[in-house]
Amino acid sequence: MIVVHNISKQYRKVQALSEISFSVGKGEIFGLIGPDGAGKTTLFRILTTLILADSGTATLNGWDIVQDYCRIRENVGYMPGRFSLYQTMTVEENLDFFATLFRTTIAENYDLIKDIYSQIEPFKDRMAGKLSGGMKQKLALSCALIHRPLVLFLDEPTTGIDPVSRKELWAMLQKLKSEGITIVVSTPYMDEAMMCDRIAMIQKGSIMTIDTPQGIIDKIPQKIFAVKADNMSCLLADLRKFESTETCHTFGEFHHITFRYDNEKLCDELKFYLQKLGYNGVKIKEIEPTIEDCFINLTDSRI
Amino acid sequence: MKNAVIQVENLTKRFGDFTAVDNISFEVEKGEIFGFLGANGAGKTTAMRMLCGLSNPTSGGGTVAGFDISQQSEEVKKHIGYMSQKFALYEDLKVWENMRLYAGIYGVPRKKISEIIDKMLVSLDFESEKNTLVKELPLGWKQKLAFSVSIIHRPEIVFLDEPTGGVDPASRRQFWELIYKAASDGITVFVTTHYMDEAEYCNRVSIMVDGRIDALDTPTNLKRQFEAVSMDEVFTKLARGAKRGDN
């Protein structure tokens, strides 16, 4: 459905994208994962024909992003990261406006947006600017879908959304996928990255790796250990001082640590080191890496 | 609680016939990292605005840093830092200009300002960005800067409203290390977040549902109480019971 070939883009001194290539199949949920400033939004804007790449080509459904931009605009839905609906129009007016732009009506495609729009329909006469963050996102998604696009581009759709609403939104995306809609989505939430069919890890304008989430996890070379003790904030500093430590980061209830080399005795040595420092309740266990470990490892050189 | 810096009793806020915050009571101890969780629309921001002296309670009340939130709201404002979710820095000002501006607003003595700014640039490793416009910084850097600016006057408490929304995993961790550092310097941190791994970094967590605080304890005890393996599961169990929608 989407084929991207050697796309590059430069803003003055900053190389936003360098020779990006990938393809996305029909009905696939494709995730763009990377730190702030990696170039994700630039890529969205190029693929939705809002800005031109400096070099490289891309097609959507066989249409070229430069030659056939009109066809593309008719057939994609785009939800930018920043709320960009009309604040001084009501919920219903916004939706109706977007439906009209695409020569359709709310009634015609109501079934597609029903799950999400029905939640904000009780407030359809409220100004869009007066909605809470969660409701704004639901309205923006409804507006992006009202013309039944072939491809949906979502730039961080769940930022500022609580965990329960995030799960609802992803259930909705799975449903859209089952209707054959292709979805390209960026997210700072690694649990959402796991729900994509494939993800591209982007950093400084280049793709580091593309694979299924599990494929990326399987490629991680180091063993990862989770460590816990009674004083977690001091523990972080002391773990980093341990001579065999390669990386150490907070991970909720535990800290995750990787070592410079593989040695069965390291865990015992670490336990001894921590007990000597006076920590109580020290727990160390090897764990399966998560996608968040992969992200941190890939971006760690930056820190 | 021996050393409570926030004490709230029966705090309530109504807008017309809608009760946004419904009779909440809790205390926060000095130096504590207190997580203030809840679904969108549960009443977190309304409660936080009352604690910051920006909105008057309909009934009930409390003290923040020893000052009454309804009677002494100006004193409250002088003793706290606040980092809002939407707006924290002036995008068209340079990094050092933002620091200078906030130091002035928060009443840092004029003689000390340049010394404080220099120290802050060093500790953030931002010296090379001193003259960069804030709008040119990546989001993660902006948020770190915004946090540092919100505690430029060494307040007793800092209120952070979703400080890491949209921030990538690596930058979020750097941000939390700043929070840890502030807490170890004795600044009490009152923080809202939608990231449940961050809930684990708090000493104690409260979860608001429909304007009430339905749970309040350490992450470990909450998981035990709700027979959950993660804070995400605790949150989901509580928030699914919410009656009112996200509005």
What local confidence, expressed as pLDDT, does residue A265 receive?
A: 85
User: What's residue A300's pLDDT?
Assistant: 64
Secondary structure letter of residue B94 according to DSSP:
B
Q: Which H/E stretch holds residue B68?
A: strand B67-68
Q: Is A156 on the interface with B (CB under 8 A)?
A: yes
Q: Where are the domains of chain A?
A: 2-215, 224-302
* Predicted local confidence at residue B245, as pLDDT: 58
Closest partner residue to A132 (CB to CB) among B169, B176, B246 is: B246
Q: Does A212 have pLDDT greater than 90? A: yes
B41 or A186, higher pLDDT: A186
Whether the predicted pLDDT of A9 surpasses 90: yes
Give dist(CA A202, CA A209) in Å, integer: 8
Answer whether A166 touches B (CB < 8 Å). Answer: yes
For B97-118, write each residue's pLDDT tens digit.
999 999 999 999 999 999 999 9
**Average pLDDT score over residue span A169-195:** 93
What per-residue confidence (pLDDT) applies to A12? 84
Residues B153-171, mean pLDDT to the nearest whole number: 91
Instruction: Say whether A162 and B39 touch across the interface (CB within 8 A).
Output: yes
CB contact under 8 A, A36 and B239: no
Interface of B with A (CB under 8 A): 38-41, 85, 138-141, 162, 165-174, 176-177, 180, 183-184, 194-201, 219-220, 230-232, 235-236, 239-240, 245-247
Q: Decide: A40 and A155 in contact? Cβ < 8 Å.
A: yes
Other Cβ atoms within 10 Å of A98 Cβ, number: 21
Whether residue B175 contacts residue B20, with contact meaning beta carbons closer than 8 Å, is answered with no
For A21, A42, A205, A294, the CA distances from A56, given in Å and listed in that order, are 9, 14, 14, 29
Predicted confidence band at A231 (pLDDT cuts at 50, 70, 90)? confident
Average pLDDT of the residues in A264-275:
88
Which CATH number applies to B29-239: 3.40.50.720, 3.30.300.130, 3.40.50.960, 3.40.50.300? 3.40.50.300
Of A37, A81, A162, the CB nearest to B40: A162
Could you tell me which of B14, B9, B41 has the C-alpha nearest to residue B242? B41
What's the pLDDT at B170?
87
Q: Identify residue A103 by its one-letter amino acid code.
A: R
The yes-or-no verdict on residue B84 having pLDDT over 90 is no
Element (H, E) at A101: helix A91-101
Residue predicted with more confidence, B139 or A70: A70
Provide the angle, in degrees to the nearest 10, between the axes of the packed helices A163-178 and A133-145: 10
Q: What is the pLDDT of residue B246?
A: 55
CA distance A63 to B44: 47
* Closest Cβ–Cβ partner in B167, B196, B219 for A163: B196
The residues near A29 (Cβ < 8 Å, ≥ 6 apart) are A173, A174, A177, A183, A185, A195, A196, A197
State whether A163 and B235 contact (CB < 8 Å): yes
One DSSP character per residue, A50-66 reads SS--SEEEEEETTEETT
Domain A2-215 and domain A224-302 have a common topology? no
Q: What pLDDT shows up at residue A234?
A: 86
pLDDT at A303: 36
Task: Please name the residue that has the structure tokens 């169990």.
Answer: B237
- What band does B238 get if pLDDT is binned at 50, 70 and 90? very high
Mean per-residue pLDDT, B192-204: 92
DSSP state, residue A37: T
Does residue B155 carry a pLDDT above 70?
Answer: yes
Q: Which residues are within 8 A (CB) of A118 and not within 5 positions of it... i.e. 6 or more apart?
A: none
Share of chain B above pLDDT 90, in %: 79
pLDDT band at B140 (very low <50, low <70, confident <90, very high): confident
Residue that the structure tokens 């947006």 belong to: A113
- pLDDT tens-digit readout, A290-303: 888 888 877 764 43
Cα–Cα distance, A5 to A283 (Å, whole number) = 48
Mean pLDDT of B148-162: 94
Fold of the domain built from segment(s) A224-302: Alpha-Beta Plaits (3.30.70)
pLDDT at A302: 40
A2-215: which CATH topology? Answer: Rossmann fold (3.40.50)
Tell me if A28 sits within 8 A of A182, measured CB to CB. yes
The Cα–Cα gap between A187 and A34 comes to 8
Q: Say if residue A120's pLDDT is above 60.
A: yes
ipTM greater than 0.85, yes or no?
A: no
Mean pLDDT over A279-287 rounds to: 90
**CA B72 to CA B52: how far, in whole Å?**
11
**Does any CB of chain B come closer than 8 Å to the CB of residue A295?**
yes
pLDDT at A299: 73
Q: Taking CA atoms, what residue in A is nearest to B197?
A: A252
What secondary structure letter does DSSP report for A96? Answer: H
- Of the candidates A106, A190, A173, the one whose C-alpha atom is nearest the C-alpha of residue A143 is A106
Confidence of residue B247 (pLDDT cuts 50, 70, 90): very low
Residue range A233-255: mean pLDDT, rounded: 89
Share of chain A above pLDDT 70, in %: 99
Of B55, B61, B33, residue with least CA distance to B177: B33
Residues A79, A153: Cα–Cα separation, whole Å: 6
CB B167 within 8 A of CB A188: yes
Range picked from A10-19, A53-62, A109-118, A213-222 for highest mean pLDDT: A53-62
Please compute the mean of the pLDDT values over residues B218-224 and round it to a whole number.
Answer: 94
